[in-house]
Amino acid sequence: MVSEPTAATAAAPAPAPAPATATAPLVQVRGLGIRYGNRAVLQGVDLDVRQHEIFGIVGPANAGKTSFLRALNRMDEFTPGMKVDGAITFGGRDLRTIKNLYALRRRIGVVFPLPVGLPLSIYDNVALAPRLAGIGKRAELDQIVERCLRRAALWDEVKDRLTSLGSLLSGGQQQRLTIARALSQDPVLLLLDEFSIAVDPVTTMRIEEMLKELRQELTIVLVTNLVQQARRLADRTAFFLGGRCVEVDRTETLFTSAADQRTTDYLEGRFG
């Protein structure tokens, strides 16, 4: 069982990505391979994620999409049997050599398919990470909580009941609370894994609009089985199939003139 980070651990300086340039990607992946025991789920993946873009990843089930996100957040270190090979750089630094894992995860937030609510009030769900980072002043915490709930398009719905349990919110509200909690760490990179799988269409569209605005502040990697969602949101999209990255291109180019026929077949619904 992995223990929660202590305040002292969480307060350690977070790894800062290198200064942004017009061409430098935030994430570079070269020769990435992932195995669970003897079963290979990804092989030879090469791609870049640019700063301040929404990078989409689509593909059928068991294509390796979620495992790719796990590698970016170093979840293999807490996943028995998971082995990662190849090179991943984050802000110009070798992801595997960053010593303070909790500090790294403050820079790389993750939102999973189903809401993962903590048994805390709405306020404390969002304030937990800042507190662990050493922020104790109530006025400062209040500002962080409001800012993150607003960024997650949830503030107007919960501002009068911040002391209520987060678990009492609707499914769509809980997912937005999860996003607010991820944003409370002030990440540079936000990983979204099928965020709308348990969310109604109206809430999904609200979150999509929020993500378009967040692109100005951070970089987003979006894994989705909804190809039209990728088309609406992603600046560039990668197609994963059979544990390999078949191709990466500007999203509209991928949808209208993909280089590989398998990509076209998947996007047009012929399999998957």
CA–CA distance, 58 with 148 (Å, rounded to integer): 28
pLDDT mean over 193-198: 86
Q: Is residue 16 part of a domain?
A: no
Q: Is residue 177 part of a domain?
A: yes
Whether the pLDDT of residue 200 is over 90: the answer is: no
Whether the pLDDT of residue 17 is over 60: the answer is: no
pLDDT, residue 23, reads: 54
Q: Is residue 246 part of a domain?
A: yes
Nearest one of 203, 208, 222 to 59, comparing CA atoms: 222
Q: Is residue 252 part of a domain?
A: yes
Q: Mean pLDDT score of the chain, rounded to an integer?
A: 89
Q: Which pLDDT band holds residue 19 (cuts at 50, 70, 90)?
A: very low
Q: Give how many domains the chain has, as a whole number.
A: 1
DSSP the chain: -PPPPPHHHHTSPPPPPPPP-SS-EEEEEEEEEEEETTEEEEEEEEEEEETT-EEEEE--TTSSHHHHHHHHTTGGGGSTTEEEEEEEEETTEEGGG-S-HHHHHHHEEEE-SS----SSBHHHHHHHHHHHTT---HHHHHHHHHHHHHHTT-HHHHTT-TTSBGGGS-HHHHHHHHHHHHHTT--SEEEEESTTTTS-HHHHHHHHHHHHHHTTTSEEEEE-S-HHHHHHH-SEEEEEETTEEEEEEEHHHHHHH-SSHHHHHHHTTS--
Q: What is the pLDDT of residues 241-268, one digit of tens each?
A: 999 999 999 999 999 999 999 999 999 9
Q: Which pLDDT band holds residue 143 (cuts at 50, 70, 90)?
A: very high
pLDDT, residue 196, reads: 86
pLDDT mean over 212-233: 95
pLDDT mean over 169-193: 92
Q: Is residue 108 part of a domain?
A: yes
- Give the predicted TM-score (pTM) of the model: 0.87
pLDDT, residue 18, reads: 44
- Find the CATH number of the domain harbouring 64: 3.40.50.300
Higher pLDDT, residue 13 or 179: 179
Domain that holds residue 94: 24-267
pLDDT mean over 25-54: 96
Q: Is residue 247 part of a domain?
A: yes
pLDDT, residue 238, reads: 98
Q: Is residue 106 part of a domain?
A: yes
